[in-house]
Structure 1
Amino acid sequence: MSVSLIDTHCHINFFSNAGEIALECEKKKIHTIYVTTLPSQFEETYLYVKPLKYIYPSLGFHCLENDYNLEKEKSIFLRNISKTKFIGEVGLDFSKRAIQSKEKQIEIFKFILNNIKSKNKIINLHSSNAEDIVLEFLIKYDIKKAIFHWYSGKIGTLNEILNYGYYFSINESMCKSKKGQNIISKIPKERILIETDAPFIKNILPYKNHYVYSYLSNQWQLDIDTVIYIVYNNFNRLQNTDNKKNLFDF
């Protein structure tokens, strides 16, 4: 079998050597979803990553980025929707650090969902302390494809998310905490994706992200090549595309 590693959530632009990171992912054939946190970030970097085969630019509008010129960012979001099938990082955060901006977050999230609901997009979600309402909005706006990034919510909500066909991306920090390990154990093999969330999880690079694969290998009692195959096949199934660059070479 000939498959590659994936990273479904990486903030490449936050690295000081972002260009080198992107080119190394390309060289090593690491399929990497490059998430942004503002539409203007996406627009500023899109032309640089567009020629790369293994970097997937993702149009983001992070829930904590709500003190910018929102009308300007909304306009940028709208004119860039057609450039990518990936939307993220977006979502809601009702933790103590962010609850004061709850209404503004909801406004932005509704704006995003309303403008992608009839399009074949894959949405990359932040849902800290807001998992239930994020799911509620996905259902309301009939969003078909979603990845819950670094999920930390209730198992009951996790099961509901699975019932709607959505995916979860797990990372090294989750594998090293008891709560994260418990969550990972509840996710079926066919719904797991792997992320780094680099550089926010420190000392991890998208092309040196072997820890999670090894962890799953031990948990699933499967050899590492089989784990790589399963996770990559999940990524392929999520995309459900005829674009050959995204298909396996078996």
Structure 2
Amino acid sequence: MQSVIDAHIHLDMYTEPEQQRILQELNASNVVALICVSNHLKSAGKLLDLSKKDTRVKPAIGYHPEQELPTEEEFLGLWKWMDQKSKHFVAIGEVGLPYYMRKDNPEVNLTAYVELLEKFIMKAAQLDKPIVLHAVYEDAPIVCDLLEKHQVSKAHFHWFKGDEQTVERMIKNGYYISITPDCLYEAEIQKLIQSYPLEQMMIETDGPWPFEREFQGRLTHPHMLHRIVEKIATLKKMNEGQVYQKLLMNTKQFYNLTD
């Protein structure tokens, strides 16, 4: 096992004992850092506290789209934190559009979420921070439009799923994707791995989200990243060591990690 970075994990959503277990086991799993995305201001605060105790925790600040829109007070509080504490966060995220929530409730006002996302994209440009995106299927072209409008190229589409035309557009624009453990059993993700350049790829767990097959009933843990590397190397017919090195370098460079 070579060194890896979890490019997308919700560390604050684990229980405290689970958090401690994961952090204690990182060295044994050769996991050198965790890009920890937040769901809202309270979430970002928890991650900031964790990062002060363990420098391998690299927090991002954002507002997850698969929930009700923030109140004006919540929004202003988040914005104030972004300006005041930007040096403590490696990225803006997780932000995006509420695809799954709209599937359950078609009455959700997409326009309001698009307007909120545009503000986050503008803030990422202002602060010169990478942006972590939740944008899948037909939502992805909307997000690409916004990124292009504001000339933001340092964009990370986590657990991406979408059509070939959007994939080609994302590759051309230099956007990154990250691959989850479901690549071991999902044909859709395996096809994406084969078509997307390794130079624009990272790996993630999206923990504590659970996975199936060999991971059924198991705590989602960053040690699962090594199985993703194995699968990527197999699908791309590449040397596993080279895949490890490239994924690590991609993530360090994208998130400006120097330690």
* TM-score over 0.5 (shorter chain): yes
In 2, distance between residues paired with 1:24 and 1:99? 42
Superposed, which structure 2 residues align to 1:34-183 within 5 Å?
34-67=36-69, 69-81=70-82, 82=86, 83-95=88-100, 96-97=103-104, 99-101=106-108, 102-129=110-137, 130-183=139-192
In 1, distance between residues paired with 2:181 and 2:229? 9
- Give the length in aligned residue pairs: 241
| Counterpart residue type for residue 197 of structure 1 | D
Map Cα deviations across residues 125-181 of structure 1 (whole Å, 9 max, x no partner). 101230100111111122131111111111110111111111010111134111111
SS in 1 for 2:55: coil
Structure 2 partner of 1:233: 249
**Is this contact kept in 2: 1:169–1:195, CA < 8 A?**
yes
Structure 2 partner of 1:215: 231
Quickly say closer, same or farther: Cα 1:73–1:25, change in 2 above 3 A. Answer: farther
**Percent identity between the two aligned chains:** 24
Higher deviation after alignment, 150-159 or 172-181: 172-181
Report the structure, 1 or 2, having the larger helix content.
2
Cα RMSD, aligned residues only: 2.2
**Is this contact kept in 2: 1:91–1:126, CA < 8 A?**
yes
Where does the alignment leave 5 or more consecutive residues of structure 2 unmatched?
212-217
In 2, distance between residues paired with 1:145 and 1:98? 31
In 2, distance between residues paired with 1:43 and 1:74? 14
| Counterpart residue type for residue 199 of structure 1 | P
Deviation for aligned residue 1:30: 2.8
**Is this contact kept in 2: 1:148–1:168, CA < 8 A?**
yes
Deviation for aligned residue 1:13: 1.1
Give the TM-score normalised by the residue count of structure 2: 0.84
Deviation for aligned residue 1:31: 1.7
Deviation for aligned residue 1:220: 2.5
Deviation for aligned residue 1:110: 1.9
| Counterpart residue type for residue 226 of structure 1 | Q
Structure 1 partner of 2:7: 8
